[in-house]
Amino acid sequence: DSGVTQTPKHLITATGQRVTLRCSPRSGDLSVYWYQQSLDQGLQFLIQYYNGEERAKGNILERFSAQQFPDLHSELNLSSLELGDSALYFCASSVVGTSTDTQYFGPGTRLTVL
């Protein structure tokens, strides 16, 4: 158990809908990352937050947004969902969010868009 929690574990929804994925980082970690894992794209970095502020952006679609709250939990919002958004979404956390940090991953949320 990495100490990173994600809810829900599974999510099934329809095209065009909007969902929110939630992540709680390990105790003491200030930085949160979101990754998407799909069969065709593999593991892709989406976005990073550090202490409530966006720090880095990767291959995140405009339909997706995220935020980190004062209690350091983070939410990833996916809207206007398409079939291709079906994937495993992972949250990771690290202490200070620099390139020397180890990132610890949560169990993931499996999103299925029908």
Partner 1 sequence: SQQGEEDPQALSIQEGENATMNCSYKTSINNLQWYRQNSGRGLVHLILIRSNEREKHSGRLRVTLDTSKKSSSLLITASRAADTASYFCATARTGANSKLTFGKGITLSVRP
Residues forming the site for partner 1 (CB under 8 A): 2, 31, 33, 35, 42-45, 48, 55-56, 58, 88, 90, 92, 94, 97-108, 110
Instruction: Find the shortest distance in angstroms from Cβ 2 to partner 1.
Output: 7
Which of 3/16 has CB closer to partner 1? 3
The dihedral through the CA atoms of 112, 77, 67, 43 has a sign that is positive
Q: Give 26 or 73: the residue with its C-beta nearer to partner 1.
A: 26
SS3 of 62-84: CCEEEEECCCCCEEEEECCCCHH
> Which is closer to partner 1, CB of 18 or CB of 106?
106
Q: Three-state SS across 16-77?
A: CCCEEEEEECCCCCCEEEEEEEECCCEEEEEEEEECCEEEEECCCCCCEEEEECCCCCEEEE
Query: Please, what is the minimum distance in Å from the beta carbon of residue 99 to partner 1?
Result: 4
Instruction: Give min distance, CB of 101 to partner 1, in A.
Output: 6
Q: Which is nearer to partner 1, 80 or 112 (CB)?
A: 112
Distance CA 96, CA 2 (A): 17
The minimum distance between CB 25 and partner 1, in angstroms, equals 14
